[in-house]
């Protein structure tokens, strides 16, 4: 690894080691190779182009699609002491020209621009004369017409690249790209002999769940009540739903904001800023919100509707837990979501071929909502990952501890019988009215008050009956026609239930006990951080992330050496904020008598409290205690491959793990040779080229060892 890159990482960002994948990507760019990096949200893409930018002699041009994304990243760089600027529509012509002048004089190291700027010949001519060493394209999937967020302005980037007499190094970055989209990115951006890195799509700290049998509004209200202190995003498909959810939260006294295209620019900007500054805890929004928002302490993302494709869902859900802390991604599914998304696709003016592709991707999303397999496995395999464990123990399909089953067979038989007695010709609302025993005009006109099923669920509200009908539709006992006014019909799956041969169960969320952590120092540090953010007019997480503050609470650093050892504290931030935070910590230590800890002690926290640790560190502690991998897997109810991957991750993060134990001595040189010949972009070609005795763990360990 280039030692200069590691020095920059520690000096500016406050980290000793790169995350998995960052090292190889940075090396590729520093070797002046065109590069495509596909990395999950929160994996540290920006560091992969910012560090080369600091090491290259000239200017780095970053092409980024959103104003909010540019401002956020430039604020962060300024806070690290790195000279950066952006040019977008918020600037006057004079201000834009001044920034180009500053870049030409070497006063700016990283310049962010919007792709729309490239439509101007004058602008292209002005930046072409700059000493540009490196061009980084963020959100590169926008360049592909097969991507989920195609933007025509991105097609201008390739034309700009071709205009350079001496071509700069070019690197493209995205969080979500199928193999088809990746090929399109390489071709459209004219990447030459590109090195493609797929660092893996897994976000181990995220808990995924799909909930099909709950009233959505009731679920959201209950969930927010159980997670009052957390920040989160609730996504809805339409403006109307955003307004409805926001009104419900507002009436119940929750700190919430709303964001959609029907609001003015001023309203959206004000609400977004309130969310970033923690003035409001909850953002209710359409998918217009979120791209480029680096707020690190978002603890949950709830989707009120199924999205139209997996790329959109994973990108939006991935805004939770960017700091690596445990977070939740919840999708509330109802069959109407399918019709809504089909309607939205039908409304578009794209080509017939592209529409067919959209329908295909929508079906993949429907399958995700219905699968009984591990949700994480489904996501990772969708994006092309291989050898994914069958269970992750961190999704609703693998871990049912949060849910309980109740027998609703009698209710199902009554509803199915009613559907038959109205001859499968009516919708959800009318069937619910009949079962409730409603005396509304249509029920009486049709004579349905004479049916044997009239009023047989009168103990339920109409809403509760509709919820049960929707549950049985989601579980495919009933189906809806695709007509303008959908009709409820029975499926073959309902027949054995009606005959009393099979039972039907409803999965409901258990009420959680609210566990409050009593950590006065953390709240004091948060308060200090907020005071600083108000003075500097930047969001609190740009000062220090929550995870950095939590490590301060564990270590209580009271001198320069221990403070600089905290992850996320670089030299510039120490000079800027160190004294203020150490003064507060010193006072807390004096007042409480708490002894400062050391970083070495925080590396191996007490394994009796595993819930407070990232999962891979729990595994490391057990391994350090002398337990074998099979023992750890059995004790933690995880697969052996998961335990192996935990140890590999620990090694990549700089923890002391003896990798030689996993590499067969007699094959070590052969493994090393194949790594040199084939590379490390994918593991399967290496496995196929090596003897059967060499397992995937040996290959991963060897890759880590020879970095």
CATH (domain of 526): 1.10.150.80
Is there a domain that residue 481 lies in?
yes
Identify the pLDDT of residue 601.
Answer: 38
The 195-198 sheet, strands edge to edge: 84-87, 110-113, 59-63, 132-137, 169-174, 35-38, 195-198
Do 470 and 530 belong to one domain? no
Binned at pLDDT 50, 70 and 90, residue 59 comes out as very high
Of the candidates 581, 603, 625, which is a domain's last residue?
603
221-252 as b/e: b if 16+ CB within 10 A: bebbeebeebbbbbbbbebebbebbbebbeee
Identify the pLDDT of residue 518.
Answer: 55
Identify the pLDDT of residue 516.
Answer: 47
| Token reading at 607 | 């394994």
Do the Cβ atoms of 215 and 420 come closer than 8 Å?
no
Pairing of strands 195-198, 298-303: unpaired
Q: Please tell me the distance from the alpha carbon of residue 277 to that of residue 428, in angstroms, as a whole number.
A: 43
Q: Please tell me the distance from the alpha carbon of residue 688 to that of residue 679, in angstroms, as a whole number.
A: 13
- Name residues whose C-beta falls within 8 Å of residue 15's C-beta, 6 or more positions apart in sequence: 9, 567, 568
Identify the pLDDT of residue 15.
Answer: 85
Average pLDDT in the 536-565 region? 88
| Residue 342 pLDDT > 60 | yes
Identify the pLDDT of residue 269.
Answer: 84
List, for residues 205-230, the tens digit of each pLDDT value. 999 999 876 789 999 999 999 898 89
Phi (first) and psi of residue 170, to 5 degrees: -125, 130
Angle at the Cα of 584 from the Cα atoms of 583 and 588, rounded to 5 degrees: 115
| Token reading at 131 | 């000493």
What SS3 state is found at 46? Answer: helix
Identify the pLDDT of residue 146.
Answer: 64
Helix axes 352-370, 310-317, angle to 10 degrees: 60
Pairing of strands 59-63, 110-113: parallel
List, for residues 241-271, the tens digit of each pLDDT value. 999 999 999 999 999 999 998 888 889 889 9
Identify the pLDDT of residue 2.
Answer: 65
Binned at pLDDT 50, 70 and 90, residue 132 comes out as very high
Average pLDDT in the 455-466 region? 91
Do 638 and 664 belong to one domain? yes
Binned at pLDDT 50, 70 and 90, residue 400 comes out as low
| Residue 486 pLDDT > 60 | yes
Do 61 and 194 belong to one domain? yes
Lowest mean pLDDT among 197-201, 452-456, 561-565: 197-201
Task: Quote the distance between the C-alpha of residue 486 and its chain's center.
Answer: 34
Q: Please tell me the distance from the alpha carbon of residue 216 to that of residue 241, in angstroms, as a whole number.
A: 11
Of the candidates 396, 428, 447, which is a domain's last residue?
396
Q: Which of 4-8, 53-57, 514-518 has the highest mean pLDDT?
A: 53-57
What stretch of H or E contains 30?
Answer: helix 22-30
Burial class from Cβ neighbours inside 10 Å (0-12, 13-18, 19+) for residue 380 reads buried
Identify the pLDDT of residue 494.
Answer: 94
What stretch of H or E contains 332?
Answer: strand 327-332
Task: Quote the distance between the C-alpha of residue 690 and its chain's center.
Answer: 35
Do 299 and 326 belong to one domain? yes
Give the domain extent around 420.
Answer: 405-509
What stretch of H or E contains 480?
Answer: strand 478-480
Q: Which of 548, 605, 593 has the alpha carbon at shortest distance from 573?
A: 548
Do the Cβ atoms of 283 and 233 come closer than 8 Å?
yes
Greatest CA separation for the chain: 87
Do 260 and 350 belong to one domain? yes
| Token reading at 268 | 């959206």
Binned at pLDDT 50, 70 and 90, residue 55 comes out as very high
Do 91 and 131 belong to one domain? yes
Do 258 and 378 belong to one domain? yes
672-693 as b/e: b if 16+ CB within 10 A: eebbeeeebeeeeebbeebeee
Do 593 and 650 belong to one domain? no
| Token reading at 492 | 């073959």
- Please list the alpha-helical segments (H only) found in 597-679: 599-603, 615-624, 629-636, 640-652, 668-678
In the numeric block, the tokens 């540090």 are attached to 525
Identify the pLDDT of residue 611.
Answer: 45
Listing DSSP states for 545-592 in one string gives -HHHHHHHHHH---SHHHHHTSTT--HHHHHHHHHHHHHHHHHHHHHH
**Mean pLDDT of the residues in the chain:** 85
Rounded to a whole number of angstroms, the distance between the first and last alpha carbons of the chain is 7
Do the Cβ atoms of 379 and 208 come closer than 8 Å?
yes
Is there a domain that residue 335 lies in?
yes
Residue 406, beta-bridge partner list? 506
Instruction: Domain count for the chain, please give it.
Output: 5
Is there a domain that residue 547 lies in?
yes
- Name residues whose C-beta falls within 8 Å of residue 661's C-beta, 6 or more positions apart in sequence: none
Burial class from Cβ neighbours inside 10 Å (0-12, 13-18, 19+) for residue 647 reads buried
- Please list the alpha-helical segments (H only) found in 105-178: 121-128, 155-163
Identify the pLDDT of residue 291.
Answer: 58
Listing DSSP states for 56-106 in one string gives SSSEEEEE-S-HHHHHHHHHHHHHHT--EEEESTTS-HHHHHHHHHHHHTT
Phi (first) and psi of residue 319, to 5 degrees: -75, -10
- In this structure, the chain runs to a length of 707
List, for residues 427-458, the tens digit of each pLDDT value. 989 999 999 999 999 999 999 999 999 999 99
Is there a domain that residue 515 lies in?
no
Q: Please tell me the distance from the alpha carbon of residue 569 to that of residue 603, in angstroms, as a whole number.
A: 17
Binned at pLDDT 50, 70 and 90, residue 375 comes out as very high
Do 386 and 244 belong to one domain? yes
Do 498 and 433 belong to one domain? yes
| Token reading at 498 | 């009606």
Q: Which of 299-303, 635-639, 665-669 has the highest mean pLDDT?
A: 299-303
What SS3 state is found at 224? Answer: helix
Q: Which of 500, 430, 21, 470 has the alpha carbon at shortest distance from 218?
A: 470
Do 32 and 174 belong to one domain? yes
What SS3 state is found at 28? Answer: helix
Q: Please tell me the distance from the alpha carbon of residue 640 to that of residue 537, in angstroms, as a whole number.
A: 48
| Token reading at 177 | 């790209």
CATH (domain of 651): 1.10.10
Of the candidates 483, 509, 535, which is a domain's last residue?
509
Is there a domain that residue 514 lies in?
no
Pairing of strands 110-113, 84-87: parallel
Q: Please tell me the distance from the alpha carbon of residue 580 to that of residue 584, in angstroms, as a whole number.
A: 6
Is there a domain that residue 324 lies in?
yes
Is there a domain that residue 90 lies in?
yes
| Residue 514 pLDDT > 50 | no
Q: Please tell me the distance from the alpha carbon of residue 347 to that of residue 515, in angstroms, as a whole number.
A: 46
CATH (domain of 342): 3.40.50.300
Residue 130's alpha-carbon distances to 76, 99, 105, 404, in angstroms, are 24, 12, 9, 63
Residue 699's alpha-carbon distances to 68, 202, 432, 558, 575, in angstroms, are 41, 19, 59, 42, 43
Residue 111, beta-bridge partner list? 61, 85
Do 331 and 265 belong to one domain? yes
How many helices (H) and strands (E) the chain has is answered by 32, 17
């Amino acid at each position: 690894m280039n030692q200069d890159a590691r020095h920059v990482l520690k000096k500016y960002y406050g980290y000793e080691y790169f995350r998995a994948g960052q090292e190889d990507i940075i090396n590729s760019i520093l070797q002046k190779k065109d590069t495509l990096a596909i990395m999950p949200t929160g994996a540290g893409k920006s560091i992969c182009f910012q560090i080369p930018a600091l090491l290259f002699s000239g200017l780095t041009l970053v092409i980024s699609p959103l104003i909010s994304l540019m401002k956020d990243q430039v604020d962060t760089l300024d806070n690290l002491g790195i000279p950066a600027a952006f040019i977008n529509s918020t600037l006057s012509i004079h201000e834009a020209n001044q920034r180009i002048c500053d870049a030409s004089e070497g006063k700016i190291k990283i310049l962010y621009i919007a792709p729309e700027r490239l439509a101007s010949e004058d602008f292209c001519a002005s930046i072409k004369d700059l000493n540009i060493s490196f061009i980084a394209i963020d959100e590169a999937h926008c360049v592909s017409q097969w991507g989920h967020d195609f933007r025509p302005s991105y097609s201008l980037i390739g034309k700009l690249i071709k205009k350079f007499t001496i071509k700069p190094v070019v690197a493209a970055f995205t969080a979500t790209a199928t193999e088809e989209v990746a090929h399109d990115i390489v071709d459209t951006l004219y990447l030459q002999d590109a090195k493609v890195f797929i660092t893996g799509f897994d976000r181990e700290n995220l808990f995924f769940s799909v909930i099909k049998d709950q009233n959505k509004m009731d679920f959201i209200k209950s969930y927010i009540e159980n997670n009052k202190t957390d920040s989160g995003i609730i996504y809805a498909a339409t403006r109307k739903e955003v307004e409805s959810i926001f009104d419900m939260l507002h009436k119940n006294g929750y700190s919430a904001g709303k964001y959609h295209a029907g609001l003015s620019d001023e309203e959206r900007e004000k609400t977004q800023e309130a969310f970033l500054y923690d003035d409001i805890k909850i953002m209710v929004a359409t998918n217009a919100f979120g791209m480029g928002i680096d707020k690190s302490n978002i603890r949950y993302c709830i989707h009120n509707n199924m999205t139209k494709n997996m790329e959109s869902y994973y990108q939006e859900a991935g805004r939770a837990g960017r700091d690596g802390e445990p977070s939740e991604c919840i999708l509330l599914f109802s069959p109407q979501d399918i019709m809504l998304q089909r309607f939205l696709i039908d409304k578009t003016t794209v080509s017939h071929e592209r529409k067919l592709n959209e329908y295909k991707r929508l079906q993949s999303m429907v399958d995700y909502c219905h699968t009984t397999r591990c949700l994480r496995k489904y996501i990772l395999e969708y994006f092309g990952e291989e050898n994914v464990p069958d269970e992750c123990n961190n999704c609703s399909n693998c871990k049912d501890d949060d849910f309980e089953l109740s027998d609703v067979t009698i209710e199902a038989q009554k509803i199915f019988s009613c559907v038959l007695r109205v001859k499968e010709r009516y919708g959800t609302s009318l069937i619910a009215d009949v079962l409730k025993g409603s005396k509304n005009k249509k029920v009486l006109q049709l004579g349905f008050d004479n049916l044997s099923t009239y009023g047989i669920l009168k103990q339920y509200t109409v809403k509760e009956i509709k919820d049960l009908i929707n549950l049985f539709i989601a579980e495919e006992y009933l189906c809806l026609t695709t007509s303008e006014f959908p009709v409820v019909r029975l499926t073959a799956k309902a027949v054995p239930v009606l005959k009393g041969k099979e039972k039907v169960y409803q999965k409901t969320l258990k009420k959680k006990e609210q566990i409050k952590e009593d950590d006065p120092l953390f709240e004091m540090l948060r308060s200090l951080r907020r005071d600083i953010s108000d003075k500097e007019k930047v969001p609190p997480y740009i000062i220090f992330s929550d995870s950095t503050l939590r490590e301060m609470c564990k270590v209580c650093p009271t001198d320069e050496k221990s403070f600089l050892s905290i992850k996320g504290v670089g030299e510039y931030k120490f000079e800027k904020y160190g004294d203020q935070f150490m003064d507060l910590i010193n006072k807390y230590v004096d007042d409480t008598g708490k002894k400062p800890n050391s970083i070495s002690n925080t590396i191996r926290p007490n394994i009796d409290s595993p819930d407070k640790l990232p999962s891979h560190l729990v595994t490391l502690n057990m391994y350090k205690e002398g337990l074998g991998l099979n023992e750890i897997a059995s004790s933690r109810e995880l697969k052996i491959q998961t335990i192996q991957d935990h140890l590999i991750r620990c090694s990549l993060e700089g923890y002391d793990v003896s990798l030689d134990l996993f590499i067969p001595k007699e094959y070590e040189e052969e493994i090393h040779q194949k790594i040199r010949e084939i590379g490390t972009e994918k593991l399967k070609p290496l496995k196929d080229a090596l003897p059967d005795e060499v397992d995937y763990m040996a290959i991963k360990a060897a890759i880590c060892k020879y970095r």
